[in-house]
Amino acid sequence: MEKKDIKALVLSNPKEISRLYYGNRDPFLNFGKKYGLSFDDLSDIYQEAFIALRKHAISGKLDTVNSSLKTYLFGIGKFMIFDLLKEKKKTTSYESSLHVTDETIEIVPFENTTEELTIEQHLLRTFFKKLGKKCQEMLTLFYSRGLSIDEIVEFTDYTSNSVVRSQKSRCLKTLKEMIKS
């Protein structure tokens, strides 16, 4: 996959995300139509699939993927479509739709793992939300997006490695003080 697409997903800049999201939406809805799902089902699936795609980008899974963003996204979507069809199996005949052939799109399995926060983590979350916007951004880049200090320098306005480091430790210090008090 193209580096710039992965980067756009990881950084999740709303403008870039909007471009990628709208750019693939209609084609996906068209692609999904042949499985006999409703428009509402398909647009729900598209949203889920897009969210999953970003997760794969952040976890580094996409770095070794050869297919394009579109094909990969459709692959996740297709997995979800089959999942939903299986669920609906009792009420509708889904066998027929499984024979729809589109060898071009390879299914990409996706596991939905959303863990609930513990009580301790909930508390930490309230502290985190009290931090300034800069700090939240910095910690998000590091902890959630998995960017290294060097990458943060590369992708943001921070000028050097040491600036990033000192900013990050300042943020952590503020957070720890909140925990103590």
Where on the chain is the footprint of other proteins (CB under 8 A)?
12, 14, 17-18, 21-22, 25, 43, 47, 50-51, 54, 114-115, 117-118, 120-121, 124-125, 128-129, 136, 139-140, 143-146, 148, 169, 175-176, 179
- Residue closer to other proteins, measured from CB, 98 or 179: 179
Stated as kind and residue range, the H or E segment containing 65 is: none
State the Cα–Cα distance between residues 17 and 45, nearest whole angstrom: 17
In three-state secondary structure terms, 157 is coil
Burial (CB < 10 A; 0-12, 13-18, 19+), residue 9, is: buried
Give the shortest CB-12-to-other proteins separation in angstroms.
6
Give the shortest CB-104-to-other proteins separation in angstroms.
25
State the Cα–Cα distance between residues 40 and 28, nearest whole angstrom: 13
- Residue closer to other proteins, measured from CB, 139 or 163: 139
Give the shortest CB-85-to-other proteins separation in angstroms.
20
- Residue closer to other proteins, measured from CB, 59 or 104: 59
Q: And the tokens for 81?
A: 């479509």
